[in-house]
Amino acid sequence: MSTPDPGPTAAATSTADGTAAAGGGTATAPAAEASSVLRADLLRVATAGSVDDGKSTLIGRLLYDSKQVLADQLEQVEAASVRRHGEGAVDLSLLTDGLRAEREQGITIDVAYRYFTTGDRSFILADTPGHVQYTRNMVTGASTADLVIVLVDARQGVIEQTRRHTFIASLLGVRHVTFAVNKMDLVDWDEDVFRAIETETTRISAQLGIPDIHVIPISALQGTNVVDRGSTPAWYPDDAAHPTLLGHLQTVEVSTDRNLTDLRFPVQWVVRPGEGAADVNGERWSPDELHDYRGYAGQVAGGVLRPGDEVQVLPSGVRSRIARIETLDGELPEAAAPQSVTVHLEDDVDVSRGDVLVGADEDAAALCRREIEADVCWMSDRPLRTGQRLLVKHTTVTTVAKVDAVLDRLDLHTLEREDAPDGLDLNAIGRVRIRLKRPLVADPYLRDRTTGAFILIDEGTNDTVGGGMIR
């Protein structure tokens, strides 16, 4: 998705573009790069898959072959590679395995975030750990992803951890999953091996209802079919239907993933300058305006806000109209997710943090829920049990909750649900019914990834012990 018209702000950089273009010759290169960077859109990608399937090596390879590794980082990694493995090839996983313990053990423990830009797109890459013990870190990395790359070791095929991570990706509402069949060099690029994994991953994805999947054979170690094609065999020819991994990441269409239908605006903060207000330049607001100023600040979670629209404030159900949408840069004609804005209502109604503005036609009773059913990823050593008391943080609300029932638990091997387990252990996933002290303005997670998500907090330790996706 390239943005054809960078709009009014393009003026800010036109000097750079202009001078560079006039200069001609080699001098234009950096500036041309800078301007394409400016128009890039953002894709959040997370890796997944079992231990040692090559996730970190792949991220390192993507950065290295797209020339995004700067000289001093490379020197550092080269030196560390020699120390660990002796002279020879550079261990590209060391580019992301940034903790001492990770380098010592040769595994990833926590998510690493790396950034790179090619062509029209910028990427935030979250390299997650494959080890079961660190599943919560994988969930952290994948929770914000638009696309997950699930690595599969060609020699082992689809194993339990592949299923678990694919399942977690689908639970997290990731609509785009790319299976990278890695270490193809170790199976001599055997087409049968690839096809078998392709069939199995496609079957699992269909079972899980993942809408957009691709299966791509690679060798992260040798750099085949990652950024450069290298020598792929005849069964994976150099044509549009057989992209490299990066080629695919650059073109995958994600623009339809946002919910522009259901207006959801959770209020985060009430801006009430009152006395001692800080309109330092004294240009925009008169003292009188500042005195009466009452704006509701937040990040749009779904739908589109427009001045004049009638809204309901939930859970109270009070109605008003949007008077205007403000930002530091002026008023806006509309706002959509994920914009952070300040909303003013026409009437002086009672609105505070935790309230949610929704459309006038919405069924308030159905939206405000005191009981929810959700898929929960449990992240604590102490198991989740029926009757347990926890805190739920959902949008900008934190409320007390009680676990009514653990309805089922997922068997990660068969992807089937076992009914009525006695609880959820560390890293288990299951469906849970929760009762809430304060009603939440909640949607099914698959309809809105913001108003459908919550975290569970242990009141005793203050730890985050689970993540939930509302059904």
The residue ranges that bind Mg ion (CB under 5 A) are 55-56, 108
Dihedral sign for Cα atoms in the order 202, 207, 213, 217: negative
Nearest distance, CB of residue 396 and other proteins, angstroms = 7
CB of 235 to ligand GTP, least distance (A): 18
DSSP 383: P
Query: Cβ closer to ligand GTP: 147 or 314?
Result: 147
Pairing of strands 41-49, 318-327: unpaired
DSSP string, 80-101: HHHHHH-SSS--GGGGT--SHH
Closer CB to Mg ion, residue 104 or residue 418? 104
163 touches ligand GTP (CB under 6 A): no
81 part of the interface to ligand GTP, by CB under 6 A? no
Ordered strands of the 112-118 beta sheet = 112-118, 121-127, 41-49, 147-153, 176-182, 212-217
| Interface pick for ligand GTP out of 43, 45, 48, 52 (rule CB under 6 A) | 52
From the list other proteins, Mg ion, ligand GTP, none, pick the one residue 467 interacts with, judged by a Cβ distance below 5 to 8 Å according to partner type.
other proteins
Q: Name which position in 178, 219, 259, 388 contacts ligand GTP (CB under 6 A).
A: 219
Q: SS3 for 374?
A: strand
Task: Kindly state the smallest distance separating residue 91's Cβ from Mg ion, in Å.
Answer: 11
Question: Quick one: what does residue 52 bind among other proteins, ligand GTP, Mg ion, none, with the CB cut-off 5 to 8 Å set by partner type?
Answer: ligand GTP
| Whole-number CA gyration radius for the chain | 25
Beta carbons of 69 and 149 less than 8 angstroms apart: no
Cα 140 to Cα 467: distance, rounded to the nearest angstrom: 9
Minimum CB–partner distance for residue 100 and other proteins (Å): 5
Q: Could you give the CA distance from residue 321 to residue 191 in angstroms, rounded to a whole number? A: 61
* DSSP string computed for 196-211: HHHHHHHHHHHHHT-S
Closer to Mg ion by Cβ: residue 55 or 409? 55
Among ligand GTP, Mg ion, other proteins, none, residue 256 binds (CB under 5-8 Å by kind): none
Per-residue CA distances from 133 to 61, 90, 274, 304, 430 (Å): 26, 28, 50, 41, 17
Binding range to ligand GTP, per CB under 6 A, among 171-179, 214-222, 303-311, 348-356? 214-222
Residue that is written with structure tokens 């996983």 in the block: 93
454 binds, among ligand GTP, Mg ion, other proteins, none (CB under 5 to 8 A by kind): other proteins
427 binds ligand GTP (CB under 6 A): no
Please report how close the Cβ of residue 125 comes to Mg ion at its closest, in angstroms.
12
Cβ proximity to other proteins, 183 vs 431, nearer residue:
431
User: Where does this chain bind ligand GTP (CB under 6 A)?
Assistant: 51-57, 93, 107-108, 129-131, 182-183, 185-186, 219-221
